[in-house]
Structure 1
């Protein structure tokens, strides 16, 4: 006799993943793995040294900041698609200081950087162009953060329903997911 109705009322509950979900659970987890791998194929978000320089000048034109704040603000403004490393920000700060465009003031063990008069002029000149986090690569990168996160969270919720939901809840979840899929394709069809 096959185990098509063994354990927890799901066909083939004794699957290799050990979740007690049989073919339903295995298929769901495989789909989740495929979804995750699809979204993990993101383009690189490495920016050029000139972009880091322009970003630092743009942020310091708003207010004095320390290096870690600069890194955080760039990440925030780019929607998470660009987070420069300390290894690119701090050398840039040193270079700008050497050029006389910024000055550093130490307070409570941290250096806070601000623009000099020459730095303000350079920031104004650079301000005529879009900020680096508004550039196409940063903007395109942001579409690779919110949607994948929402997709993975949806797959996790579906897996939870499959693990602990009643057969009626599972059927309802399938209907909800089918509707969501149709609506997503409908978005693309709108052009």
Structure 2
């Protein structure tokens, strides 16, 4: 469930301009979202951090909401992508605050460009914005550096398969030794790989 807080109280819903969000709201997920490491709870961004990230990306190049989601997902190597339910209300808020302005574009997608007020906000928060963008890039580097993902997946598969067999309890003494020998053999082969 997504909630917003602002100067006019507490609300829940989509968008601002009287459609559920108080004007000047920030958005966060109370129930917790999936973290990049697969856990739940901690948010990727606090309060107005997503606002600054979106402004920075729009300052770099006018963008649609979907473009922003894809760009953040690309920066993090697929580890994190903000949901449309967060991004689109935030774009409406930024537009209401005159930090971005809708540009003419083809189709139904709204493309936004930064305004002078939005650029001033970025300039005032330059160090913070740089730190946020570095956080996203670092997450992407860790994700891309995790090229060993197929190995981790295979290790997890082996662990699950062994747990299921052990829980079934149908291992004979010989089968236990055979499984241990297979694992030892694979370990030795991996050590010899160049």
8 A Cα contact 1:71 1:84, kept in partner: yes
In the TM superposition, residue 173 of structure 1 has moved relative to its aligned partner by 4.9
Change (3 A) 1:148 1:102: same
**SS at 1:113's partner residue?**
strand
- How large is the Cα RMSD of the aligned pairs? 3.7
Deviations 1:37-96 (A, max 9, x none): xx7558855322312101101101100000011011112223333211111111111111
In the TM superposition, residue 99 of structure 1 has moved relative to its aligned partner by 0.7
> How many equivalent pairs are there?
132
8 A Cα contact 2:69 2:81, kept in partner: yes
| 2:58 maps to which of 60, 75, 78 | 60
- For the residues of structure 1 that align with 2:59 and 2:153, how far apart are their CA atoms? 38
Residue 178 (structure 1) aligns with? 191
Residue 176 (structure 2) aligns with? none
Residue 152 (structure 2) aligns with? 152
- For the residues of structure 2 that align with 1:174 and 1:126, how far apart are their CA atoms? 51
Q: Which has the larger radius of gyration?
A: 1
Gaps of 5+ in 2: 1-36, 159-182
In the TM superposition, residue 119 of structure 1 has moved relative to its aligned partner by 1.4
Which structure's residues are more often helix, by fraction? 1
Change (3 A) 1:112 1:43: same
Residue 132 (structure 1) aligns with? 132
Residue 107 (structure 1) aligns with? 106
Gaps of 5+ in 1: 1-38, 159-169, 184-191
Q: Which has the higher contact order (CA 8 A, sep 6+)?
A: 1
Q: TM-score, normalised by structure 1?
A: 0.54
Change (3 A) 1:45 1:173: farther
**SS at 1:118's partner residue?**
helix
Which structure's residues are more often strand, by fraction? 2
Residue 29 (structure 1) aligns with? none
Q: TM-score, normalised by structure 2?
A: 0.53
- For the residues of structure 1 that align with 2:90 and 2:40, how far apart are their CA atoms? 26
8 A Cα contact 1:74 1:133, kept in partner: no
8 A Cα contact 1:55 1:131, kept in partner: no
**SS at 1:114's partner residue?**
strand
- For the residues of structure 2 that align with 1:48 and 1:90, how far apart are their CA atoms? 17
Change (3 A) 1:56 1:140: closer
